[in-house]
Amino acid sequence: MKIIFILLLIAGMSSCSKLVEVNPPSTSLTGSNVYSSDATAIAVVTGIYAQLGNQGDIASGLKSISLFCGLSADELTLYSGVTSFSYIDYYRNSLSVALSTGSDVWAGAYPLIYLCNSVISGVGASNNLTPAVKTELLGEALFLRAFFYFYLTNLYGDVPLVLSTNYKQNAQMSRTPQAQVYQQIITDLTNAQNLLSSNYLDGTLLATSPERLRPNKWAATALLARVYLYMQKWSDAESQADLIINDSSMFRLSKIDMAFLRAGLGNSEAIWQLQSAVSAVVTNTFDAFIFVIPSSGLNSVSHPVYLSQGLVQSFDTADLRRTHWVDSVVVKGIVYYFPYKYKVSAIKTPVSEYSMVMRLGEIYLIRAEARAQQGNIAGAQADLDAIRARAGVSNTNVNDQISLLAVIAHERRLELFTEWGHRWLDLKRTQAVDSIMSVATPNKGGTWNPDWELFPLPLTDLQSDNKLTQNPGYN
């Protein structure tokens, strides 16, 4: 019964839309009581994963990063029959403060960060937990907090760095410089590496699991490699990627059609996956539910997008990613291409796919870029060609740094399309966003403004917290 109450608490907190109004807990099963037993403490963190795996509302929350960033970039085309201003505003790069479009990730992340802070404080102070469980929960909470802040700072820029459950203090916070946010992310991930097991654990945190649903040391290492890449700390990014790639007993590139299966089915590429919270009702993954277009065609609710022609035409004809990760449907004589990384879209089907959050393919590309930036051309080529070989594409023949970095950027586009916003974030971090979007946005019916590479802060938070300021370009 306690676990049910805790999960209800989590659901209520996660539905809050405002950073500044995450209220103090109101039940007796919070604070120290929640963290008095392994079962209830684990339930709090498991509830965070349930929120991330929830497919119930495709228009809000962190689970839509792939959709919203894909619309914002040049990956997805919006169905002309869509009337939702949220989808339209992301697609045309015309996010509206008045209509609160663009604040979805902000609204989804901060209540979950509050929970992470609660776990860090409550578990750390508890003397009743099994030591191994206590260590794992602290590591998971630190990892998750870093994960949420990574997306917040990359989508919104400087963001309030909330590190406590003091709701009165949190209600009047100003924006923290991105450099400081990144430093906190690094601190959290480094601590998580030291706390988390190198094995994948089950829901008890005491036994190993063939699935890779709870982040472990390797997930923290993968995210740290990505963070160092974004910070242009090339040597650090390479060294973190080395740790994962060199452990070939744990991680190997899977065959093209196995890359998005459950780890329990032999997918050794997975580093961290999410289980759908409602797979029995909808489908294995949110990606298949939203992206796989049925023979009946597109519609404005459940299948509102398809792949852009620019992306589809970027693949070589021999590229297995084009034939295995892209599919199409013909409706009234028009061919619509859609992401087909996740193939199980039917409802109430056996679960063979979990949503991939981080995988080995990205780590090879991180190391390739880090090596190229340091002048290690041969090493960068080797990593790049590992990805190309899996895709059935011949080895790269470029051997100068500038050309090689361009090829790596191209490979990231083809390898990571519609996965957790990689394309949108890559355009921004490599300073290519203006040149690409100044062409892409008009083709989508909008007008590009360089300020719009950052999403707007929600108006409600700005009105409630006079220390917050809006991003440039939003009235």
pTM of the predicted protein model: 0.93
State the pairing for strand pair 76-78/305-307.
antiparallel
Give the model confidence (pLDDT) of 373-416 as tens digits. 999 999 999 999 999 999 999 999 999 999 999 999 999 999 99
Mean pLDDT of 109-120: 94
Note the pLDDT of residue 282. 61
Q: How confident is the model at residue 32 (pLDDT cuts 50, 70, 90)?
A: low
Q: How confident is the model at residue 60 (pLDDT cuts 50, 70, 90)?
A: very low
Residue 474 located in a structural domain: no
Residue 405 located in a structural domain: yes
**DSSP H helical ranges for 336-432:** 360-373, 377-390, 401-415, 422-429
Q: State whether residue 261 is helix, strand or coil.
A: strand
Mean pLDDT (the chain, rounded): 90
Residue 373 located in a structural domain: yes
Which CATH number goes with the domain that contains 179? Answer: 1.25.40.390
Residue 459 located in a structural domain: no
Mean pLDDT of 90-107: 92
Residue 465 located in a structural domain: no
Which CB contacts under 8 angstroms, 24+ apart, belong to 3-12? 3/39, 3/40, 3/43, 5/29, 6/34, 6/40, 6/43, 6/44, 6/47, 7/43, 7/47, 7/50, 10/44, 10/47, 10/48, 10/50, 10/51, 10/115, 11/47, 11/51
475: nearest Cα among 450, 454, 456, 447: 456
Q: How confident is the model at residue 459 (pLDDT cuts 50, 70, 90)?
A: very high
Domain that holds residue 19: 2-57+65-94+102-277+356-434
Domains of the chain: total = 1
Q: What are the φ and ψ backbone dihedral angles of 274, each rounded to 5 degrees? A: -115, 135
Give the model confidence (pLDDT) of 413-435 as tens digits. 999 999 999 999 999 999 999 99
Residue 462 located in a structural domain: no
> What length does the chain have?
475
| Whether residue 14 has pLDDT greater than 70 | no
Q: How confident is the model at residue 278 (pLDDT cuts 50, 70, 90)?
A: low
| Whether residue 272 has pLDDT greater than 90 | yes
286: nearest Cα among 309, 302, 270: 302
Angle between helices 217-230 and 131-156 (to 10 degrees): 20
Give the model confidence (pLDDT) of 224-260 as tens digits. 999 999 999 999 999 999 999 999 999 999 999 999 9
Residue 86 located in a structural domain: yes
Residue 368 located in a structural domain: yes
Mean pLDDT of 355-362: 96
* CA-to-CA separations, 368 to 239, 277, 297, 375, 385, in angstroms, rounded: 12, 35, 39, 11, 9
Mean pLDDT of 176-196: 98
